[in-house]
Amino acid sequence: MSDPAGIYIHIPFCLSRCHYCNFATGGYQPELVRRYLSALEKEIERSASSSDRGNSMKSVDTVYFGGGTPTTLTIEQFSSLITLCRRYFELAPDFEMTSEANPGSISRDYLQDLRAIGVNRLSFGVQSFDDGELQMIGRTHTADEARAAIKAARAAGFDNVSLDLIAGLPEQKLETWRMNLAEAFTLAPDHLSVYLLELYQDAPLLHRIERGELRAIDDELTVEMYFMLMDEAEKEGYEHYEISNWARPGFASKHNLKYWTGAPYWAFGVSAAGYDGRSRWSNTRNIHEYLERIDRGCSPVADSVDLDYDDRQSENLFLRLRLKEGVNLREHRERFGVDVTDRYQAELSRLRYADLIEMVEDNLVISRKGKVLANEVFAAFV
Ligand code: SF4
């Protein structure tokens, strides 16, 4: 019996575009939303009816609405998506159903309705508690609105609330970052995700840096911010269960854990990426192409790759290294027939010498220093 699958559904609409955003998202237009939801229905129905995946990934215990801003949907639209999931998949009784949410555009009534239709976890894109920073990165909400949204979510009955912050914003000071963390912990979220700012080529924020209007902060300061975060989160009782994620005991994201443990997950909608245990695939990033392909009865998949046995063992190493417990080398050997200490002898001794990895009993884990140089560690196993 395989592990229950997850479902990711991408909602590619936002009220405006943030200045660092590289997600597949666009402006909210009611007619486009209606067409998109109808296409999603067809994609879900066709995928679930495909004999291979449909059978092996029928049982599901997590659903994740990401974006974009899923909470741009009306409750009726949201509810019909959940009905679709229930129609085509067997949802476990203890399912986790998450929606990302934008703090500036959500009312207490909406939150109550969202809880009533089955969403039981919210992930708020707060990003900063400094209004100047929020304005600089093009967020449409204020810090006060973020605080109010999280309180409203609690009042609406959500007992699993996550918030996202971004570290390493242009001009950011260590003291502003300390304040951001203090504000976040004051709100006592169950889960915290922190991403280091990465700017893609066309990001307006990058252009402002290139024009000299804003100053990017240096890597040393970003590292200091990350270490401060690790220390403060630990003091507050959060478990650092994945490189970018912290949770109160029992509140690690069940859905996101699937990404790092090789569990299967469906992916529906523009740019959504899925995995069935053998292949990875991702849909087109272009909404018009997505709608057109679905209309023609074609698959919206733009890329797919079949992983061979060795790819899967390599993924098991570098994905699990993201997790606190790392890779259990005995289990890895039993599952893939690969003795990591033999096969990666040179890489391991280099990484150990550089103090980037360590052994904790039978587990290979990434060190405190390794967490800030994680890509260098993962590259050794790709
Ligand atoms: S809310 Fe998120 S998805 Fe939407 S524009 Fe901002 S960063 Fe991008």
The residue behind tokens 């790709």 is 382
| Residue 25 alpha carbon, nearest atom of ligand 1 | 3
Testing ligand 1's pocket by substitution, the residue of 69, 99, 100, 135 carrying the most ligand atoms inside 8 A of its CB is: 69
pLDDT tens readout for residues 316-366:
999 999 999 999 999 999 999 999 999 999 999 999 999 999 999 999 999
Per-residue pLDDT at 132: 97
pLDDT in tens, 49-67: 987 887 889 999 999 999 9
Q: How far apart are the first and last CA of the chain?
A: 29
Of 240, 140, 230, nearest in space to 181 by CA: 230
* Cα 91 to ligand 1 centroid, rounded to whole Å: 29
Please report the atom of ligand 1 found closest to the CA of residue 16: 5
- Averaged pLDDT for residues 360-377: 94
Nearest CA to ligand 1 atom 7: 21
Pocket test for ligand 1, best of 14, 128, 136, 137 (most atoms within 8 A of CB): 14
Q: DSSP for 196-265?
A: E----TT-HHHHHHHTTSS-PPPHHHHHHHHHHHHHHHHHTT-EEEETTEEESTT-S-HHHHHHHHT--E
Answer yes or no: are the C-beta atoms of 336 and 309 closer than 8 Å.
Answer: yes
Q: Which of 118, 145, 8 is nearest to 67 (CA)?
A: 8
CA of 68, closest atom in ligand 1: 3
Average pLDDT over all residues of the chain: 96
DSSP-assigned beta bridge partners for residue 26? 13
154 CB-near residues (< 8 Å, 6+ apart): 161
Q: How far apart are CA 90 and CA 274, in angstroms?
A: 18
> What is the arithmetic mean of pLDDT over 246-274?
97
Ligand 1 centroid to residue 22 C-alpha, Å: 8
Q: Which of 265, 312, 259 has the alpha carbon at shortest distance from 47?
A: 265
Dist. CA 281 → ligand 1 center (Å): 23
Backbone dihedral region for residue 168 (phi beyond 0: left; psi -120 to 50: alpha; all else: beta): left
CA 139 to ligand 1: nearest atom: 6
Residue 68 pLDDT exceeds 80:
yes
Centroid of ligand 1 to alpha carbon of 15 (angstroms):
9
Pocket test for ligand 1, best of 23, 137, 166 (most atoms within 8 A of CB): 23
Ligand 1 atom index nearest CA of 67: 3
Determine if the peptide bond prior to 26 is cis (ω within 30°): no
- pLDDT surpassing 80 at residue 2: no
119 phi-psi bin (left φ>0, alpha ψ -120 to 50, beta other): beta
201: which residues sit within 8 A by CB, 6+ positions away? none
Q: Which residues line ligand 1 (CB under 6 A)?
A: 14, 17-18, 21, 23, 25, 67-69, 102, 125
CA of 161 to the centre of ligand 1 (A): 19
pLDDT of residue 265: 97
Residue whose CA lies nearest to ligand 1 atom number 8: 21
- Nearest atom in ligand 1 to the alpha carbon of residue 14 is 4
Of all protein residues, whose CA lies closest to atom 6 belonging to ligand 1? Answer: 18
- pLDDT per position as a tens digit, 175-216: 999 999 999 999 999 999 999 999 988 899 999 999 999 999
CA 59 to each of CA 7, 32, 63, 86, 116: distance values in angstroms, whole numbers, following the listed order: 10, 31, 11, 10, 23
C-beta atoms surrounding 373 within 10 Å: 16
How far apart, in whole angstroms, are the C-alpha atoms of residue 249 and residue 247?
6
Which pLDDT score is estimated for 25? 86
Percent of the chain predicted with pLDDT > 90: 93
